[in-house]
Amino acid sequence: MFRSILGFAVFAVVAFLGLKLVLGLFGVVLGLAMTLLVWAAIGFMCYLVIRLVSPSTADKIRDMIKRRPSDA
């Protein structure tokens, strides 16, 4: 009986450490994804402001990103 209780305790500790590792890695990946999403939103907002202020500059930016040569 003592042996089975000890076995369950060891299994619980190993399962806890494994779960902590997996959820920790998931948290890092989720954090990086959220950071990338925020940066993309900020870039999109800057592009919209440029589009409203100077549409030709916004076209040049879009052409540069799509790697099309400009007509200049």
Quick one: pLDDT at residue 66?
87
Q: pLDDT category, 70, cuts 50, 70, 90?
A: low
- Per-residue pLDDT of 16-60, as tens digits, reads 999 999 999 999 999 999 999 999 999 999 999 999 999 999 888
Instruction: Answer yes or no: is pLDDT of 68 > 70.
Output: no
Those residues whose C-beta lies under 8 Å from the C-beta of residue 60, and which sit 6 or more positions away, are: 70
Q: How far is the C-alpha of 59 from the C-alpha of 47, rounded, in Å?
A: 10
**72 pLDDT higher than 70:** no
pLDDT of 62 reads 87
